[in-house]
């Protein structure tokens, strides 16, 4: 009886072992790679003298120039950045870097939005998991992931979602695993015209900035939650990270990355989670820097360099890297860096553009959390009439005024209202223009030009900063 039970247990464990080997082998061969990430891991393994390592998502890979950081700090700097990475992946990636590096300082670069998510984006696992060394590191990474989202099969069989598309791609994938030294960064950069791999984990993007489009389309007011407190799962992962770096003799620094200004006004979580993280780090004696609250003496606003809601490029990357290098040098020398940052959230919020963007919606009878108008405020709409609602992101306590205009085919405008509070417009269905434009301005800030947006969305007008002259009050 005992022998039969033992045989069944052995068979079960053998099946599980073979099952896992096949899963990992499939991920090794059949998962579509991110070549920039493979180059990053290759350079990380080939830089054993790295003294200053930045760990994080694409905000590390795309925004931190190691050459500038090395020049500013006097330390050999390297990026360990994988797109969409959050804390589970950061732990696995940091375990990986300790196989070949013994950095003096590890800077864990975080975004407040990470703490709003219930899981790490599976794209990060797709990029990182097949290139980790050691079954134990892979298993810990997998277990941390599934404890957050319980996606056991999706997390195990990555090739179900990110499969290769040809035999040639499979051969190229195998070459990246077994002969990564043969990858030519120049050829990769030429293939990806927007991204240029400059070494040590840094990818410079040449995408033209488009803050007007980003602000028009990406930032709507989000509802306020009761408390922005770090989830217990993330607290546990942060403590694991601290213990990992301490066990290898590295000094840990947690850094919060800055956002475009409109993000702080549209999403209360950006500051809420940052402050919660700061409180946690203070209680755990972990050095913490919130670069989002940097004063202009350290770093001017980089809004004009953004090409999507999360990334900026061009000269903005070097400006940020210089400011970061200066800050880290002062910090390492024991200087007081607090004067370089706003002391509280209100002084920081008052430094932002108080009215960064406006949008216009047609009311279809269903409520939208991004609207400031309450159902009781809505006017009665008769049959054949349409209600439009204008809203804007703005500082607390600031009341925007709105004006509506129809846009003619030649680009000229006919104003339908003057500037009024409320942001509501009722039109007969037959009178609705092909393009309707809304303007917003602040009554108490006459020095600020109006901003605008269209319904339906249009890119054929000035938006950011406002240039157009209005013939209304």
DSSP 193-238: SSEEEEETTEEEE-PPP-HHHHHHHH----PPPS-----HHHHHHH
List Cα–Cα distances, 452 to 387, 425, 469, in angstroms. 18, 15, 12
Give me the numbers of helices (H) and strands (E) for the chain, helices first please: 16, 14
List Cα–Cα distances, 233 to 36, 48, 148, 191, 199, in angstroms. 30, 32, 7, 40, 34
Dihedrals phi, psi of 106, to nearest 5 degrees: -115, 125
pLDDT for the residue numbered 1: 59
Dihedrals phi, psi of 158, to nearest 5 degrees: -65, -30
How many Cβ atoms sit within 10 Å of the Cβ of residue 331? Answer: 17
- Total-model pTM: 0.90
SS3 content of the chain, % helix, strand, coil (to 5): 45, 20, 40
List Cα–Cα distances, 21 to 156, 157, 173, 341, 359, in angstroms. 11, 11, 18, 50, 52
CATH of domain 31-349: 3.40.50.1110
Tens digit of pLDDT per residue, the chain (473 long)? 567 777 777 777 777 777 777 777 777 778 888 899 999 999 999 999 999 999 999 999 999 999 999 999 999 999 999 999 999 999 999 999 999 999 999 999 999 989 988 899 999 999 999 999 888 999 999 999 998 888 888 888 887 777 878 888 888 888 888 788 888 887 776 666 788 999 999 999 988 999 899 998 899 999 888 789 999 999 999 999 999 999 999 999 999 999 999 999 999 999 999 999 999 999 999 999 999 999 999 999 999 999 999 999 999 999 999 999 999 999 999 999 999 999 999 999 999 999 999 999 999 988 898 999 988 899 988 899 999 999 999 998 888 999 999 999 888 999 999 999 999 999 999 999 999 999 999 988 888 899 999 998 755 544 433 333 333 33
* Run of H or E including 330: helix 315-332
Dihedrals phi, psi of 129, to nearest 5 degrees: -50, -50
Instruction: Go through the chain and tell me how many residues it has.
Output: 473
**Pairwise CA distance, residues 378 & 387, whole Å:** 9
Contact (Cβ atoms closer than 8 angstroms) between residue 450 and residue 441:
yes
Coil/strand/helix, residue 452: strand
Dihedrals phi, psi of 110, to nearest 5 degrees: -120, 160
* Residue 403 β-bridge partners: 439
Closest Cα partner for 40 from 200, 172, 222? 200
**Pairwise CA distance, residues 220 & 392, whole Å:** 8
How many Cβ atoms sit within 10 Å of the Cβ of residue 381? Answer: 13
Token pair for residue 228?
């922005």
| Domain limits, CATH 2.60.40.10, in the chain | 357-455
DSSP sequence for 434-448 = SSEEEEEEETT-TTS
Contact (Cβ atoms closer than 8 angstroms) between residue 125 and residue 108:
no
pLDDT for the residue numbered 464: 39
**Pairwise CA distance, residues 373 & 376, whole Å:** 8
**Strand duo 52-56 + 195-199: pairing:** unpaired
How many Cβ atoms sit within 10 Å of the Cβ of residue 352? Answer: 19
**Pairwise CA distance, residues 266 & 317, whole Å:** 24
**Strand duo 251-256 + 105-110: pairing:** parallel
Which 8-state DSSP code applies to residue 31? B
List Cα–Cα distances, 422 to 16, 425, 436, in angstroms. 63, 9, 17
| Domain limits, CATH 3.40.50.1110, in the chain | 31-349
**Pairwise CA distance, residues 209 & 216, whole Å:** 14
> What is the CATH superfamily name and number for domain 357-455?
Immunoglobulins (2.60.40.10)
Rg (CA), the chain: 26
List Cα–Cα distances, 31 to 25, 151, 161, 163, in angstroms. 10, 18, 8, 5
Contact (Cβ atoms closer than 8 angstroms) between residue 68 and residue 318:
yes
pLDDT for the residue numbered 333: 95
Strands (E), 15-103: 52-56, 77-81
pLDDT for the residue numbered 467: 31
């Amino acid at each position: 009886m005992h022998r039969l039970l033992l045989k069944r247990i052995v068979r079960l464990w053998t099946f599980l072992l073979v099952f896992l080997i096949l899963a990992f082998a499939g991920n090794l061969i059949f998962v579509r790679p991110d070549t920039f990430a493979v180059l990053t891991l290759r350079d990380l393994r080939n830089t054993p003298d790295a003294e200053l390592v930045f760990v994080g998502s694409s905000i590390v890979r795309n925004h931190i120039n190691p050459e500038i950081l090395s020049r500013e700090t006097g330390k050999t700097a390297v990026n360990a950045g994988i797109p969409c990475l959050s804390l589970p992946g950061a732990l696995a990636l940091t375990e990986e870097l300790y196989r070949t590096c013994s950095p003096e300082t590890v800077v864990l670069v975080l975004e407040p939005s990470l703490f709003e998510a219930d899981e790490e984006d599976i794209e990060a696992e797709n990029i990182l998991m097949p290139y980790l060394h050691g079954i134990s590191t892979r298993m810990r990474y997998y277990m941390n992931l599934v404890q957050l989202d319980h996606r056991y099969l999706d997390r195990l069989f990555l090739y179900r979602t990110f499969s290769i598309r040809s035999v040639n791609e499979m051969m190229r994938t195998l070459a990246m695993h077994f002969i990564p030294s043969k990858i030519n960064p120049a050829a990769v950069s030429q293939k990806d015209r927007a991204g240029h791999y400059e070494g040590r984990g840094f990818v410079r993007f040449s995408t033209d900035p488009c803050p007007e489009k980003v602000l028009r389309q990406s930032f709507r007011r989000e509802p306020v939650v009761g408390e922005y407190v770090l989830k217990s799962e993330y607290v546990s992962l942060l403590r694991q990270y601290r213990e990992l770096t301490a066990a290898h003799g590295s000094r840990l620094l947690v850094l919060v990355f800055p956002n475009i200004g409109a993000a702080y006004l549209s999403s209360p979580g950006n500051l809420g989670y940052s402050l919660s993280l700061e409180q946690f780090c203070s209680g755990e004696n972990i050095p913490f820097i919130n670069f989002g609250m940097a004063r202009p003496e350290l770093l001017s606003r980089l809004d004009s360099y953004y090409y999507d809601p999360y990334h900026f490029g061009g000269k903005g990357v070097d400006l940020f890297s210089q400011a970061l290098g200066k800050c880290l040098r002062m910090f390492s020398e024991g200087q007081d860096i607090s004067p370089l940052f706003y002391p509280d959230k209100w002084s920081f919020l008052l430094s932002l553009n108080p009215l960064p963007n406006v949008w216009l919606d047609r009311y279809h009878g269903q409520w939208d959390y991004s609207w400031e108008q309450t159902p009781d405020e809505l006017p009665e709409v008769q049959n054949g009439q349409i209600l439009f609602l204008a809203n804007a992101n703005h500082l607390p306590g600031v009341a925007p005024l709105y004006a509506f205009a129809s846009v003619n085919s030649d680009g000229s405008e006919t104003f339908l209202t003057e500037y009024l509070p409320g942001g509501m417009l009722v039109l007969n269905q037959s009178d609705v223009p092909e393009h309707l434009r809304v303007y917003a301005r602040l009554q108490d800030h006459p020095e600020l030009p109006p901003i605008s947006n269209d319904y339906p969305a249009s890119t054929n007008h000035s938006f950011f900063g406002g240039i157009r002259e209005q013939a209304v009050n």
